[in-house]
């Protein structure tokens, strides 16, 4: 079954079940400081590998960018 999710308002399709960490790897977002919200709930970094992504989840990812 194809799983459809929304990431930062953009639709994505995946063919397999995955964890939040798997999703971050698939989107090449494993570097740097990020904050993730799944369906309105903030997910602590320590739970990224355990958090399962489900069909029609709404995910928001914010990446901290340093500058001066």
pTM for this model (two decimals): 0.86
Of 19, 16, 11, 7, the closest CA to residue 62 belongs to: 7
Per-residue pLDDT of the chain (68 residues; tens, 9 = 90+): 789 999 999 999 998 889 999 999 999 987 788 999 999 999 999 999 999 999 999 999 998 877 66
CATH code for position 35: 3.10.20.30
Q: Which two tokens stand for residue 13?
A: 């399709």
Instruction: Give the residue numbers spanning the domain of 43.
Output: 3-63
Q: Is 41 helix (H, G, I), strand (E, B) or coil?
A: strand
The predicted-structure confidence for 7-16, as pLDDT tens digits, reads as follows 999 999 998 8
Please list the residues that pair with 62 across neighbouring strands.
35
């Amino acid at each position: 079954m194809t799983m459809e999710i929304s990431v930062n308002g953009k639709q994505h399709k995946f063919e397999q079940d995955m964890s939040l960490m798997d999703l971050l790897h698939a989107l090449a977002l494993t570097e740097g400081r990020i904050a993730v919200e799944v369906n309105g709930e903030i997910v602590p970094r320590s739970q990224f590998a355990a958090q399962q992504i489900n069909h029609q989840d709404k995910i928001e990812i914010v990446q901290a960018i340093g500058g001066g």
